[in-house]
């Protein structure tokens, strides 16, 4: 029971990685608050696993204030873990991305995490953990995803800055950088659990469960001396030129017809 007696807030928890994280946290003994805009999915999951659910637009400070008030009133102000998971993916290159699209991505993927840390961290005590979900795009960049990659790089830097600010209070802050993960959000781009991924050393997309295991560890006391760093969960995709060359050679290799 890695998270016994801990209270955790997971944004974007109604589906995808967030939902898997919520399930995993409950299994490990945490009291979980799920927030999302998907009220039907969020309520259903909360009832199924025994969690709290709140409607929450993560890009709006007023909604974060309501979440904070809920924690104060319903959970005696106790909050040990914040998982800034909510985010959206947009595949648009520099020429195609409008200013409005750029601002929307930054609001949901980056400003939301700033607001979460700003409003929730004052409620936290020493030993608390904040996990900001970024992306492999926040390590390597990504083609045809100018706003998305920018937002995820910003999360990476913001995490390091927040870790320095909150470290004296005993609060840890880390970012998790998933590679290509099979979720409902990536399914529309053809990502499936059994599909090949030639630029990953492990030659497959990851699963939400594999990301949740890392998030759960960072939330636990077993990660008590890990702060201000990025954890990459990508099957070996971020190993630089070597992985790119390995994938290219593999794609060009003769196929075994036997």
Name the residues annotated as catalytic.
Answer: 148
Length of the chain: 258
- The vertex-55 CA angle with 53 and 58, nearest 5°, equals 115
Contact 34, 54 (CB under 8 A): yes
Both tokens of 61, joined, read 């400070």
Distance CA 85, CA 105 (A): 14
């Amino acid at each position: 029971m890695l998270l016994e007696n801990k209270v955790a807030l997971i944004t974007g928890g109604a589906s995808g990685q967030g939902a898997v994280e919520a399930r995993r946290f409950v299994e490990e003994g945490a009291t979980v608050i799920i927030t999302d805009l998907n009220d039907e999915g969020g309520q259903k999951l909360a009832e199924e696993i025994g969690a709290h659910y709140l409607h929450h637009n993560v890009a709006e400070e007023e909604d974060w204030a309501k979440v904070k008030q809920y924690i104060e009133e319903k959970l005696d102000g106790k909050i040990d873990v914040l998982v800034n998971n909510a985010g959206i993916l947009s595949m648009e290159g520099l020429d195609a991305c409008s200013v409005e699209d750029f601002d929307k991505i930054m609001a949901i993927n980056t400003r939301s995490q700033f607001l979460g840390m700003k409003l929730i961290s004052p409620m936290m005590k020493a030993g608390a953990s904040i996990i900001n979900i970024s992306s492999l795009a926040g390590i390597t960049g990504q083609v045809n995803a100018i706003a998305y990659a920018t937002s995820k790089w910003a999360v990476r830097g913001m995490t390091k800055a927040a870790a320095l600010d909150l470290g004296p209070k005993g609060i840890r802050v880390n970012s998790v950088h998933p590679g290509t993960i099979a979720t409902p959000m990536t399914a529309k781009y053809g990502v499936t659990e059994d599909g090949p991924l030639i630029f990953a050393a492990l030659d497959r997309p990851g699963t939400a469960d594999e990301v949740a295991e890392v998030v759960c560890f960072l939330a636990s006391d077993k990660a008590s001396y890990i702060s201000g760093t990025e954890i990459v969960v990508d099957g070996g995709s971020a190993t630089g030129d070597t992985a790119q060359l390995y994938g290219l050679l593999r794609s060009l290799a003769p196929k075994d017809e036997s």
